Structure 1
Amino acid sequence: MVGISATVADFVHAPPAMPDAVILAGRRSLINMVGTAIGGSGEAAIDKLAALLPAFSGPPTNTLIGRPERADMLWAAYINAASANIFDYDDTHIPTVIHPSAPVGPAVLALAETLASEGRPVDGRALIEAFVLGAEVTCRLGNALHPVHYARGWHITSTCGVFGAAMAAGRLLGLSPSQLVDALGHALAQGAGSVETLGTMSKSLSVGQAARGGLMAALLAADGYTGPEEPLEGKRGFLALHSDTPDYAAITGELGSRWEILNNTFKPYPCGVVLNPVIEACLALHAKGGFSTTDIMSVELTGHPLLRQRTDRPGVTSGRLAQVSAQHAVAVSLVHGRADLAAFSDKAVADTETRALGDKLTFRDDPTYALDSVQIRLLMTDGREILNVITAAKGGLGDPLSDTDLAEKFRDQIAWRRVLLDGDELIATLEELDHAIDGAVFLRKTQPAIFRE
């Protein structure tokens, strides 16, 4: 009987033809990732990582998206992954809440850019296919461990993403099935990531390491560096370490005919995905009006238990923590009627009216609610109750962002970053990525020479 690791390796080595819908979903995921990497590239945590380049990076051969510096291949993968995920504005796989593009996309792009410099460019279609394969492995591992893995405190994007990055890079390198199994073993040796770090700079370390570690895993395997025979299903392998009852069928079942990239979604707001319906409900109440936020006695959120588990964070003190705080998301949406990047900044967190309203929030868990649904109940000082129910939030599988929405989100992040980039040209180039002779050539267009005042 062929094991899980060998099955995954065989699939990556010789995948079936991908339907057009899968290629489109992969391209849209990469567009979204490049946009979030531009938007996050100027954050303090990314500045600090870039400041380490002189001490740790090799020759500056690769692009840092949204930044003027360059880095070696591994550090470019690391920093671009951290930038893409830092605002929690990147894609989200349902139901695992994995952000598959942040660890996988930067690894693929860094390798493709290096191969192009060596006269071996990767065409856009091959790049997208490698990315999709990496995302598939990432999300299927997540499905096998969901929901226990995240509930135990593992940052599932990083712990599963390192394997996806390894497989995507291995695909581009043309690794044999046995080499791909070795790469899975090297990814196992480098996996990390804790939910305890969310809302802090530390979170970016594991996401960056997932991209870097996965890429390094593939490069090592290509050079004959060997690993365990069963890194995924072994007695002390990845699955056994992270769940008492992993769902093996979630990894191998319908492999190549059911594609997890089709369950990937894009956020309309820069925060944890379970806050999307909360924000949508609150923005609708703000727009409707008819009440003063100072007259709200209490706010009750009814939703999936994961909403409380992920976002019950009162009294946050930074914009990063605000991205995973229901108290802040509710208050800033109701008080100011906004939920953009500025609404999750340090300045927004310091607003006294917002903080006061956030203190009035309570949760009610209901496992029958979907992740993209919520009920908000306002109890007013005059005895009124104001309700709003969201059954399928925008950005979820039931109401996905359109290409127009993604393009607007992309441009907004360029504006937030205050860099002189031609957003329309970049978007047009990325929308034709699957026809490009060199799939990584667009990266040069993401590197600004001038910053706006």
Structure 2
Amino acid sequence: MPDPTATEALGRFVAASRWEELPPALRHEAKRALLNHIGCALGVARDPAVRGALRVMRGLGGRVEATVFGQGARLDVMGAAFVNAVAGNLLDYDDTHLDTVIHPAAPVAPPALALAEQRGLSGAAALHALLLGGEVACRIGLAVSPGHYDRGWHITSTCGTFGAAATAAKLLGLDAAQVAAAIGIASSEAAGTVENLPTAAKNVGVGNAARQGILAALFAAEGWEAAAQAIEGRLGWARAAGDAADPAAIAAGLGERWEIARNTYKPYPAGIVFHAVIDACLELRARPGLVPEAIDSVTVAGDALLLARGDRPVRNARDARVSIHHAAALGLLRGRASVAEFEAAAVEDPALAAFRARVRAVRDETLPRGAARVTLRLLDGRSAEATVLTPRGSEARPLSDAELEAKFRENAALGGFADRAAAQIAAIWALDAAPDVAGLMALLA
């Protein structure tokens, strides 16, 4: 029998995986990912983009079977997954797998909860499907990184579609061949571009990843097939969407080494590559005698991804979340970087705008991805420098469960759900023992 293709290997892996056989730490990570995702979604419950997505999906929907977080509304499964994925990713406050820069939970957690709610499945089943979908997304992402993103593909939207397909296929109880087919069908759906990141079109891509993944699994359940090498074939998705793909990265150590276990959670609502910039600036600001008024200019050094993502003019809140200049200004001038510091009022603050103009970005390939060096030139001729290789929230310095809970409460308060936060947190931590997800979804409604 020939060796399985990478697509087939993923199908076998997903179909054969058993929740009770996973390491306890990995099972706990599923709850951490869900806690972070739901908190981020609740924080933007009042945002016009989320309300607009709800109106659009409500107009398109079928049977009302799944809860939309924080909206007092239910939609069809694919509509609810779309809106919840948009909400979870909107603030750029969600989880990140740094090697691929994928935000795994946004495209996979909403299908997991929506399908589990529709079908009366257990909390453990939803968490298990979330883990498997995140793993599939990250492994396919490894196969096409960094060229895929560099060519302009928004990797959360593209690889997230494969992850959502795997999540949905697991919850539908598909066999190995059907799971592989679902992933292959998803290769005909995966899309999203980096050019659209400063606009709401980015969120359409993330919402579609969740929605289209469910669709792919439903077609596979109906017997639809896909090419055995839909991902890695000569004319498959990986080659079409990147430069030099590495299909071996998909199956290497599959089931033994978990990429989703390397997921990280953000302390700041900005692109993860800007966290080291913020940390370095906060460190400099805390030094005795180093006040913002004494700074003449700021130089931020980082790798190619940092500059490609963040060396941009800041015109709106979306720009601010992916701006080197705004990140540095917040750390040095305001000394904080909470959600409010990335909203329109902060973007339009004359003091922040003037400070952003003092910031210059330079490339330094000796710095690893996610790191930054900030150098200040002071008005009196002195200089000061700080380098951050492992920012807070990174794999080397992860947020604790308590810090994730505090982040959840902050987001819940922003969305108007402070009074429910404690119960929501408790329900998420206990979800693996719950016979279904109905209790959690009632709290989120």
Shorter-chain TM range is over 0.9
| Contact 1:317–1:346 (8 Å) recurs in 2 | no
Distance 1:238 1:177, change over 3 A: same
**Structure 1 position 440, deviation (Å):** 4.9
Q: Match for 1:208: what amino acid?
A: G
Residue in 1 aligned with 2:104? 100
Match of 2:70 among 66, 71, 95: 66
SS, match of residue 286 in structure 2 = helix
Could you tell me how far apart the structure 1 residues matched to 2:282 and 2:244 are? Answer: 41
**Structure 1 position 96, deviation (Å):** 0.9
Q: Match for 2:48: what amino acid?
A: A
Residue in 2 aligned with 1:259? 258
Q: Over aligned residues, Cα RMSD in angstroms?
A: 1.5
| Contact 1:94–1:264 (8 Å) recurs in 2 | yes
**Structure 1 position 421, deviation (Å):** 4.3
SS, match of residue 168 in structure 1 = helix
Residue in 2 aligned with 1:115? 119
- Structure 1 runs of 4+ aligned residues shifted over 6 Å read none
Residue in 2 aligned with 1:364? 362
Match of 1:412 among 410, 413, 433: 410
The answer to whether the aligner puts 1:7 opposite 2:9 as a matched pair is: yes
Match of 1:340 among 338, 344, 347: 338
Q: Match for 2:12: what amino acid?
A: D
Match of 2:375 among 374, 377, 389: 377
Could you tell me how far apart the structure 2 residues matched to 1:333 and 1:94 are? Answer: 22
Could you tell me how far apart the structure 2 residues matched to 1:400 and 1:54 are? Answer: 38
| Contact 1:38–1:414 (8 Å) recurs in 2 | yes
Could you tell me how far apart the structure 2 residues matched to 1:437 and 1:106 are? Answer: 18
SS, match of residue 379 in structure 1 = strand
Residue in 2 aligned with 1:443? 441
Match of 2:44 among 40, 46, 49: 40
| Contact 1:421–1:445 (8 Å) recurs in 2 | no
| Contact 1:301–1:363 (8 Å) recurs in 2 | yes
Could you tell me how far apart the structure 1 residues matched to 2:68 and 2:89 are? Answer: 14
Q: Can you list the C-alpha shifts for 1:239-289, whole angstroms capped at 9, x where unaligned?
A: 121233211221011111000111100000000000111111212333335
**Structure 1 position 430, deviation (Å):** 0.7
Q: Match for 2:110: what amino acid?
A: P
Q: Can you list the C-alpha shifts for 1:303-356, whole angstroms capped at 9, x where unaligned?
A: 222111111112x12111110011111112211112000000011000011011
Q: Which runs of 5+ in 1 are unaligned?
A: 117-121, 448-453
SS, match of residue 362 in structure 1 = strand
Match of 2:349 among 348, 351, 354: 351
Residue in 1 aligned with 2:26? 22
| Contact 1:421–1:446 (8 Å) recurs in 2 | no
Residue in 1 aligned with 2:235? 236
Could you tell me how far apart the structure 1 residues matched to 2:334 and 2:263 are? Answer: 30
Q: Match for 2:398: what amino acid?
A: P
| Contact 2:153–2:194 (8 Å) recurs in 1 | yes
Could you tell me how far apart the structure 2 residues matched to 1:362 and 1:100 are? Answer: 31
Could you tell me how far apart the structure 2 residues matched to 1:129 and 1:26 are? Answer: 7
Q: Give identity over the alignment, percent.
A: 41
| Contact 1:130–1:171 (8 Å) recurs in 2 | yes
Q: Match for 1:19: what amino acid?
A: P
| Contact 2:265–2:398 (8 Å) recurs in 1 | yes
Q: Can you list the C-alpha shifts for 1:88-117, whole angstroms capped at 9, x where unaligned?
A: 10000021110000001101111111102x
Could you tell me how far apart the structure 1 residues matched to 2:438 and 2:114 are? Answer: 8
SS, match of residue 368 in structure 1 = coil
Q: Match for 1:81: what amino acid?
A: A
**Structure 1 position 71, deviation (Å):** 1.3
SS, match of residue 210 in structure 2 = helix
Q: Can you list the C-alpha shifts for 1:202-260, whole angstroms capped at 9, x where unaligned?
A: 11000000000001111121122333332112222111212332112210111110001
| Contact 2:66–2:118 (8 Å) recurs in 1 | yes
SS, match of residue 227 in structure 2 = coil
Residue in 2 aligned with 1:212? 211
Residue in 2 aligned with 1:77? 81
Distance 1:61 1:283, change over 3 A: same
Q: Match for 2:154: what amino acid?
A: H
Could you tell me how far apart the structure 2 residues matched to 1:177 and 1:409 are? Answer: 38
Could you tell me how far apart the structure 2 residues matched to 1:372 and 1:393 are? Answer: 8
Could you tell me how far apart the structure 1 residues matched to 2:315 and 2:143 are? Answer: 35
Could you tell me how far apart the structure 2 residues matched to 1:317 and 1:263 are? Answer: 33
**Structure 1 position 37, deviation (Å):** 1.1
**Structure 1 position 63, deviation (Å):** 0.7
Distance 1:389 1:229, change over 3 A: closer
SS, match of residue 298 in structure 2 = strand
| Contact 2:340–2:346 (8 Å) recurs in 1 | yes
Residue in 1 aligned with 2:223? 224
Q: Match for 2:268: what amino acid?
A: Y
Q: How does 1:127-206 map to 2 (within 5 A)?
A: 127-206=126-205
Could you tell me how far apart the structure 2 residues matched to 1:413 and 1:317 are? Answer: 24
How many residue pairs get aligned? The number is 441
**Structure 1 position 74, deviation (Å):** 0.5
Match of 1:88 among 83, 92, 97: 92
Could you tell me how far apart the structure 2 residues matched to 1:100 and 1:192 are? Answer: 15
Q: Match for 1:204: what amino acid?
A: N
- So what's the TM-score if we normalise by structure 1? 0.94
